Amino acid sequence: MQIELTINGKLKSLEIHPGESLLETLRKNGYTGVKYGCGTGDCGACVVLLNEKPVNSCQVLTAAVDGESVTTVEGIGTMDKPHPIQEELVKAGAVQCGYCTPGVVLSAYALLQTNPHPTEDEIKTALDGHLCRCTGYVKIIEGVKNAAEKV
């Protein structure tokens, strides 16, 4: 079936299978910043923004979001032009293997859009769906806190 999605501000017409997840659709169309972790909604590696709100894309049927708007990490910043959240996560040492990072960046971005000066508890709540096997979370929280000063 054919659907349309606005991805990172660009309207795309995509051919999908009816049972395909948004995670699968995005990755097969080149948005490989979206990561497959668990496939069961438990790790946050696949988080994207759907109409500006973080969702686990492995749990979203693409057919159900026809016509909607999606933001992936590719729409937030690039290697040449990183977003301040990405810069501050790197500076804080919060990017080790990096597998959790795209999802964390998107959840932090959504948080700072609605709450530019979050408390530590608010940052923890915004990121509580993200598993990170490397950093122990302290550095991630520090990076988001520092980014909040700049965004």
DSSP secondary structure, the chain, as one string: -EEEEEETTEEEEEE--TT-BHHHHHHHTT-TTSPPS-SSSSS-TTEEEETTEEEEGGGSBGGGGTT-EEE-GGGT--SSS--HHHHHHHHTT--SS-SSHHHHHHHHHHHHHH-SS--HHHHHHHTTT---SSSTTHHHHHHHHHHHHH-
**Shortest spacing between CB 13 and ligand FES, in angstroms:** 25
Closer residue to ligand FES, CB minimum distance, 53 or 117: 53
CB neighbours (10 Å) of residue 54?
22
Closer residue to ligand FES, CB minimum distance, 2 or 51: 51
Closer residue to ligand FES, CB minimum distance, 44 or 118: 44
Closer residue to ligand FES, CB minimum distance, 32 or 96: 96
**Shortest spacing between CB 141 and ligand FES, in angstroms:** 13
Residues near ligand FES (CB under 6 A) are 36-39, 41-46, 56, 58, 95-100, 132-135
**Shortest spacing between CB 132 and ligand FES, in angstroms:** 3
**Shortest spacing between CB 11 and ligand FES, in angstroms:** 25
CB 71, CB 8: distance < 8 Å: yes
Closer residue to ligand FES, CB minimum distance, 36 or 61: 36
